[in-house]
Structure 1
Amino acid sequence: MVLFAWMRAQLRETSPDRSANSEFTLIAVVLGLLIGCLLCFTNLYFGLQTGWISMMSLQSALIGFLVSKLLPRPITPQENIVVQTTAVATGTMPLAAGFVGILPALGLLDPERDGMAPLHLTWLSTVGWSCAVAFFGVFLSPPIRKQVIIEEQLAFPSGTATAQLISVLHRLPPPDTSIRQRRGYRALSVEEAEEENHLTETHVVHESPLEVESEEPEIARKESWSALLWSFLASGVMTLAAYFFPIVFSIPLFGNYLAKEWLWSFTPSLSYVGQGIIMGFPTTLSMNLGMLVGWGVLSPLSKLYGWAPGPVGDMTSGARGWILWTSLAIMCADSFISLLPVIAEFVDNQLRRRRILLPRDGGSDDGDKEDNEVETEDRLVPNSWVLWGLGVSVVLGVALVWLVFGNEGIKPWATVIGFVLGGLLSILGVRALGETDLNPVSGLGKISQLVFALVAPGNIVANIIAGGVAEAGAQQAGDLMQDLKTGHLIRASPRAQFYGQLIGSSLSILVTSTAYTLYSRAYTIPGPSFPAPTAYVWLSLARLLRDGQLPDKSGIFMLAFALLFGTVSALKIHAVRRQLPYAKWIPSGVAFAIGFLNTPSFSLARLVGGVLDYVYRTRIAKDGNDIRLIVIASGFVLGEGVVSVISLVLKTCGVSVASCWGCGHGLCAGCPAS
């Protein structure tokens, strides 16, 4: 309440000055919160299904602009920055607070194997846990911004793409992206921004950047609004149809035998197609290559040779649980290799700075250092706010984690270490994100779990919780840094964005906790409808670090694929940094691993979207300036995410499916057979 009262005091109507308050307006905040709530439900829904979550910053800016055209006063470009910043902070909480991985993992605990009964948090407990981790990354952002955006001028391709789109929508001159990067970088161009479109194990996707013109006719805006509306409705209707006729989303495309015994089915979800469009063809291709290797080769091998004797879909004794370990090895190897050059350059920069600042002839060069900050003090976040915010968020976080989980879950001193580790990992994650558009939180999360295997040996709950605390800070700081890059290019106030981040995170705590509680009451999580694959990743690694036992023969394949994708990742990093044209076609290790985590039905529909995106941009769109496809993709994704709330209400009220016709394989969500 104190936070919202303070924020309310900051709100002002637009004024002619360039203060933070002239951009942090009621219109911008309300629009951002409304869009963010839609994204929050959407991301929670898809995150529990596949582990995939999108920042949707580009889509938030676009939807905010279109909606504002219906208002008496259209929003300014700087207000649009506040809209998308607030929306991203609200919409990504399902990931930052671990609702798609950490909390489901705690619900999978086995008393005999883990020494503790499953932990199913109440609504109040989920609110407390979310409050514990929701603000640390927000307060980390201002000092990191100063270093990576102002001083080092890292690219942040997705943030740059969003700035380019906003400049088009508001008919501004294109943002000046012709800045020189650090050693070995040429001037940033749109072609460079199109280079990467990565996934992380949190499976956050940063949207495909777009090259756009500085002018767009009014008719194009009307067409965009119409395309968004119709694609939203189409996806929503299909989602509702799939609730009453589950076969719609589980078509045995390759026959009932392969669907039932080997989990090969097809989900023609328009939202999955939309996600594939947003991801881009190279990423969806990597994901489907992983699907073919995991589900077409390794799964049958593990079953044939008796390494995974249980049913294929069983995460404990079946092939799905067996190939999970190979997926884990690929993600760790890819993320670790991608971090090496970042760590090396960070150390090198610190050594260079230390040599520069060494006293010379009894003096210091501190006063000669140029400050490249372009904003005035009244538009920046004061250092005192950062220090107090970090201190309060850590103290409050430690207390809340202790209240929620108690001493048996995790000791307060271990939670403090988690926050400290999260701060350190945030620096590495943000720098990697700024250079490659990849926030390697999969590797960072595994690093945190490894540390806590030493700090709190034998305590699986502490390993998962503390790892989640550390990962939350790294993930949130990275996502918010993309928004700050957008604001920097459009000359929006960092302080106004900071306000939006705090408000969005605060509201999202309640929205996400409520939605997760409702889903937990209506469905089994993990279960047929919401398998929550990343929960098994967290729990499996925690068990491995405690017991040191791997499934039969899985260690050999883990080592082989780790070496292979370590090499592939090194080659990809080299190609990206050299800006070689074939860089984006080198498989992404993390995307490849996600093909293992999810059943084929999730990957195939995304490939359809990726192919559509490739064909559209190479055969139909003129000069890459057409944004209609990304508008349609946004409508597809939002349509299913929002209408899924209706399905949730129907499920809670006991409304059953209309017909199980065609569901002979027993894999349809909602069918009695499933």
Structure 2
Amino acid sequence: MPIPTLTPEQIQTWTREEKDRWWLQNVFRGNMPQLTLRSAITGFCLGGLLSATNLYVGAKTGWTLGVGLTSVILAFVMFRVFTRLGARDMTILENNAMQSIATAAGYMTGPLISGMAAYMWVQNELMPWWQMLLFNVVLSILGVLVAFPMKRRFINDEQQSFPEGRACGVVLDTLYSSAAAVGMFKAKCLALAAALAGFIQFISGEAYCQALHAGWLWIQKGGKWAEFLTANKDVLKKTWHFPHSLDGWYYAMAAKGWVPIPRIAGVDIRQLALTPAIELAMLGAGGLMGIRAAVSMMIGMILNFAIIVPIMISLGEILPRSGSIAEGTATFGRAHILNNWALWWGISIMVTASMVSLFAKPKVFIQAFRLVFARKKVAGSDVLGHIEVPLWISWVGIPIVGAVGVWMAHDWFGVSYIFGTLAIPLIIVLTLIAASSTGMTGITPTGSLSKIPQFIFGAADPKHAPTNLMTGVMCVEVASNASNLLMDIKPGYMLGGKPRHQAWGHTIGIIAGALASTPLFYILFLSDYKPGDNVQAAMAPDGGQFGFPSAVQWKGVSDLVTSIFGADTSKTLLTTSIVWSMVIAAVVGLAMEVGRILSKNKFPLSPLAIGLGVVIPPDSTFMMFIGAGFFWLMHRRYSGRKESTGCKLWVDTQEPICAGIIAGAALIGIGDTLVKVFLLGPLR
């Protein structure tokens, strides 16, 4: 049945109390089971798994993916299977409560792959795991407290769309209506895509193949496992696995002198990071991101690594890490190229484009500040008081939890109490901006917003980089969590759920995501770290599978702020060629973003994505381009043939297929690291 909605005229003319009464009479489902034990446990477990995939994908791309629709479909199928075994099916509101938990858990990885990672790189020291976990949880709970006073305005009164949340509500309504067969088909496609991607990831996983080989030999030889691994180390190191790199066959021929080694400006292209590889999770991510962003990233990658960097090497602006270009022994590597030159123009075009995009939407700022100064239109009874989260919890909780966050920032990261305290009102303003943007467009501009506190507090305290990094983390984490909570609440409001239950569910998800992602962060990215090592090199080594583009941006902005306002470092950090590249990139980014705005988003390229093509590893960019290109071709071919199998498979089911590819590849990829660390430790 159609979801009841107010007309545009009713939204404009009715008071909030009238809208609340209408919702209570026409939409609210009363005491239908919602946040039950099984929905909480299911959301907790799915949220933990999906936060792991977000951590894996985020370390590669810098993005956190929305997991609401994926969790909805997975839970729906799982409980349909349980129903056939005699269990009671999950209600629509139980599934919605579950997705709130899972979505909250999935978004907990954001600070880990951005500001917190950048902090460790700048300080060149590890953050204790318990500090990472507790700081993340405290800021996320502060986001929940900030969000609920805004919920009544954004959702109850103004009926903002929150597109991703609305899509989730529509999917839930479809699954629990007569069109449930559509949901089952999408679920099967998701499962098949995950299985296929997982299988390919498994046979290309070095640790999996070594473990199978070791198990087979151990059955024959016996003995203590650790001693057996040590004794057979040389044999196991030669175990075959499906090659991760796609150009190994070519360089095998080059080693025999059959073909030449490709070079640009006398440099082996492998030293420029131009090596294609199997990255199935990136293939799925490309399918979700769309062709415009993928083409822009591809242009940024080619422009940087194949054109600009070779020119700068020829001019002597980028020197090799070791060896000689003339002798053909020069070594560069992606990290060396980025840190010494290319990063700066990439950050410049991204910062310019994102800030122009943000400030080009005056409605967002008008809306935000109107909310700050608006008074209650009508003094009346709170008709939803018995199911809404009481506002006094926010008024009491924000100062208390905020004070805890300020103390943590001071005691653990050296942020002055003054700057930490000043961050709290800035948090409120940035949250209003982020929530307004999310409500209108479905996009939470955390990347753009993070630059504001970094520049403000970096200018105020340029000698202490953690000040701009950790105040940035505070502002962005709260703004992001509050906006995501409002996005989660939207389907609950559409379907008649209790807001109070969703608040509890979101909090459960925060705990689930923190417990799942924090230990996994150290296992995935720091298992090879030894005291005294460079933290950034350990987490994002040259040729490694994780590039941490978001953390690279955060660190780059921090270094830039320090170089601008800390006069003692400016001469050594930014050379003349770097400054010129930044100026040119900023002008180009400004022009392109203005062109996009004036053309109403019809401009073919994204300057933000061009900058991402600079900081994301080229092999990941290449696979995202292939994924986006494939689904773009499928849309071109089948979108006009609505009843065709191709349309149902590649157009209507694009998102579940991409989500399945990402989940299958990411989870099996994580498993490969766990096997290497815990099962094959003596081989490392």
TM-score bracket for this pair, using the shorter chain length: 0.7 to 0.9
The percentage of counterpart residues that share the same residue type is 20
Aligned to 2:408: 400
8 A Cα contact 1:89 1:480, kept in partner: yes
8 A Cα contact 1:274 1:637, kept in partner: yes
Cα displacement (A) at 1:136: 1.5
* Secondary structure in structure 1 of the residue aligned to 2:539: coil
Q: C-alpha separation between the residues in 2 aligned to 1:154 and 1:341?
A: 20
Encode CA deviations 1:439-471: one digit per residue, 9 max, x unaligned: 222221111111112332311122211111111
8 A Cα contact 2:353 2:590, kept in partner: yes
8 A Cα contact 1:51 1:532, kept in partner: yes
Encode CA deviations 1:32-79: one digit per residue, 9 max, x unaligned: 112111111111112223323212222222222222212322222222
Aligned to 1:105: 118
Aligned to 1:12: none
1:87 and 1:546, CA in 2 relative to 1: closer, same or farther beyond 3 A? same
1:505 and 1:370, CA in 2 relative to 1: closer, same or farther beyond 3 A? same
TM-score, normalised relative to structure 2: 0.77
State the AA in 2 paired with 1:238.
I
State the AA in 1 paired with 2:77.
L
State the AA in 2 paired with 1:644.
G
1:601 and 1:313, CA in 2 relative to 1: closer, same or farther beyond 3 A? farther
1:633 and 1:589, CA in 2 relative to 1: closer, same or farther beyond 3 A? same
1:521 and 1:332, CA in 2 relative to 1: closer, same or farther beyond 3 A? closer
1:488 and 1:618, CA in 2 relative to 1: closer, same or farther beyond 3 A? farther
1:217 and 1:162, CA in 2 relative to 1: closer, same or farther beyond 3 A? closer
8 A Cα contact 2:113 2:551, kept in partner: yes
Aligned to 2:66: 55
* Secondary structure in structure 2 of the residue aligned to 1:22: coil
Q: C-alpha separation between the residues in 2 aligned to 1:504 and 1:352?
A: 28
Higher helix share: 2
1:262 and 1:274, CA in 2 relative to 1: closer, same or farther beyond 3 A? same
Aligned to 1:535: 551
1:586 and 1:482, CA in 2 relative to 1: closer, same or farther beyond 3 A? farther
Which of structures 1 and 2 has the bigger CA Rg? 2
Q: Which runs of 5+ in 2 are unaligned?
A: 1-26, 207-239, 252-260, 263-267, 322-330, 529-537, 565-569
Encode CA deviations 1:234-256: one digit per residue, 9 max, x unaligned: 22222222222677332228866
Aligned to 1:27: 38
Aligned to 1:4: none
1:557 and 1:593, CA in 2 relative to 1: closer, same or farther beyond 3 A? same
8 A Cα contact 1:315 1:321, kept in partner: no
Residue 216 of structure 2 corresponds to residue 216 of structure 1: no
Cα displacement (A) at 1:503: 0.6
Encode CA deviations 1:305-363: one digit per residue, 9 max, x unaligned: 22222357557752564221112112211221122243465338857997x97xxxxxx
8 A Cα contact 1:275 1:637, kept in partner: yes
In the TM superposition, what are the counterparts of 1:403-418 in structure 2 within 5 Å?
Answer: 403-405=411-413, 409-418=414-423
Residue 606 of structure 2 corresponds to residue 596 of structure 1: no
Encode CA deviations 1:244-302: one digit per residue, 9 max, x unaligned: 26773322288664551221122232221111112222222222222222223222222
Q: C-alpha separation between the residues in 2 aligned to 1:535 and 1:217?
A: 41
Aligned to 1:546: 562
Q: C-alpha separation between the residues in 2 aligned to 1:520 and 1:502?
A: 27
Aligned to 1:647: 672
Aligned to 2:487: 482
330, 336, 342: which is aligned to 1:323?
A: 342
1:42 and 1:584, CA in 2 relative to 1: closer, same or farther beyond 3 A? farther
8 A Cα contact 2:42 2:98, kept in partner: yes
State the AA in 2 paired with 1:104.
A
Aligned to 1:129: 135
In the TM superposition, what are the counterparts of 1:446-525 in structure 2 within 5 Å?
Answer: 446-523=451-528, 524-525=538-539
Cα displacement (A) at 1:574: 4.1
* Secondary structure in structure 2 of the residue aligned to 1:153: coil
TM-score, normalised relative to structure 1: 0.78
8 A Cα contact 2:368 2:436, kept in partner: no
Q: C-alpha separation between the residues in 2 aligned to 1:348 and 1:502?
A: 27
In the TM superposition, what are the counterparts of 1:297-308 in structure 2 within 5 Å?
Answer: 297-308=307-318
8 A Cα contact 1:299 1:319, kept in partner: no
Q: How many residues of Structure 1 are paired with residues of Structure 2 in the alignment?
A: 571
Q: C-alpha separation between the residues in 2 aligned to 1:625 and 1:246?
A: 35
Q: C-alpha separation between the residues in 1 aligned to 2:575 and 2:377?
A: 60
Encode CA deviations 1:136-192: one digit per residue, 9 max, x unaligned: 112222222233333333333222222222222122xxxxxxxxxxxxxxxxxxxxx
Q: C-alpha separation between the residues in 2 aligned to 1:350 and 1:653?
A: 52
State the AA in 2 paired with 1:216.
A
1:350 and 1:539, CA in 2 relative to 1: closer, same or farther beyond 3 A? closer
245, 248, 256: which is aligned to 1:250?
A: 245
Aligned to 1:335: 354
Q: C-alpha separation between the residues in 2 aligned to 1:381 and 1:352?
A: 19
1:94 and 1:269, CA in 2 relative to 1: closer, same or farther beyond 3 A? same
Q: C-alpha separation between the residues in 2 aligned to 1:143 and 1:227?
A: 40
Q: C-alpha separation between the residues in 1 aligned to 2:499 and 2:590?
A: 37
8 A Cα contact 1:302 1:319, kept in partner: no
1:519 and 1:551, CA in 2 relative to 1: closer, same or farther beyond 3 A? farther
Cα displacement (A) at 1:476: 1.7
Residue 647 of structure 2 corresponds to residue 629 of structure 1: no
8 A Cα contact 1:46 1:53, kept in partner: yes
In the TM superposition, what are the counterparts of 1:438-449 in structure 2 within 5 Å?
Answer: 438-449=443-454
Residue 193 of structure 2 corresponds to residue 231 of structure 1: yes
1:226 and 1:368, CA in 2 relative to 1: closer, same or farther beyond 3 A? closer
8 A Cα contact 2:280 2:661, kept in partner: yes
Q: C-alpha separation between the residues in 1 aligned to 2:385 and 2:597?
A: 37
Question: Which piece of structure 1 moves more, 508-517 or 433-442?
Answer: 433-442
Encode CA deviations 1:553-596: one digit per residue, 9 max, x unaligned: 122222222222223223323444xxxxxx35532332222111
* Secondary structure in structure 1 of the residue aligned to 2:243: helix
8 A Cα contact 2:108 2:514, kept in partner: yes
State the AA in 2 paired with 1:164.
V
581, 600, 605: which is aligned to 1:587?
A: 605
Aligned to 1:292: 302
8 A Cα contact 1:43 1:94, kept in partner: yes
Cα displacement (A) at 1:381: 1.6
Q: Which runs of 5+ in 1 are unaligned?
A: 1-15, 110-116, 172-214, 358-365, 577-582, 659-669
Cα displacement (A) at 1:639: 1.0
Q: C-alpha separation between the residues in 1 aligned to 2:372 and 2:393?
A: 26
Q: C-alpha separation between the residues in 1 aligned to 2:337 and 2:360?
A: 38
Aligned to 2:637: 619
8 A Cα contact 2:47 2:512, kept in partner: no
Cα displacement (A) at 1:99: 1.0
Q: C-alpha separation between the residues in 2 aligned to 1:526 and 1:170?
A: 44
1:334 and 1:492, CA in 2 relative to 1: closer, same or farther beyond 3 A? farther
Q: C-alpha separation between the residues in 1 aligned to 2:546 and 2:41?
A: 31
Question: Which piece of structure 1 moves more, 501-510 or 49-58?
Answer: 49-58
8 A Cα contact 1:100 1:532, kept in partner: yes
* Secondary structure in structure 2 of the residue aligned to 1:300: helix
State the AA in 2 paired with 1:323.
A
State the AA in 2 paired with 1:38.
L
State the AA in 1 paired with 2:499.
P
Aligned to 2:540: 526
Aligned to 1:278: 288
Question: Which piece of structure 1 moves more, 283-292 or 252-261?
Answer: 252-261
1:100 and 1:648, CA in 2 relative to 1: closer, same or farther beyond 3 A? same
Q: CA RMSD in A?
A: 3.1
Aligned to 1:198: none
Aligned to 1:571: 595
8 A Cα contact 2:309 2:342, kept in partner: yes
Residue 145 of structure 2 corresponds to residue 139 of structure 1: yes
Q: C-alpha separation between the residues in 1 aligned to 2:370 and 2:141?
A: 31
Aligned to 1:94: 109
594, 609, 627: which is aligned to 2:627?
A: 609
Q: C-alpha separation between the residues in 2 aligned to 1:454 and 1:588?
A: 29
